[in-house]
Amino acid sequence: MKNKNITLLSLFVGYAALACAGSAVAKRGNDPALEDAVRAVAAAADAQDVARMDKLLHDNFSTHFVVAKAPGEKAVPKKVYLDLLGAKKIGGDQRQVNLLSVERVERLAFARVRLNGKKANFEAQQTWVKADAGWRLLSESVVFAPRG
SS3 of residue 86 by DSSP: helix
Q: What is the pLDDT of residue 2?
A: 56
Residue 139 has pLDDT above 90, yes or no: yes
State how far the Cα of 34 lies from the Cα of 91, in Å rounded to an integer.
21
pLDDT in tens, 3-12: 555 554 454 4
State how far the Cα of 35 lies from the Cα of 48, in Å rounded to an integer.
20
Domains of the chain (ranges, CATH numbers):
2-146 (3.10.450.50)
Q: How many CA atoms lie within 13 A of 57 on its CB side?
A: 24
User: What's the pTM?
Assistant: 0.80
Q: What is the pLDDT of residue 31?
A: 86
Contact 56, 137 (CB under 8 A): yes
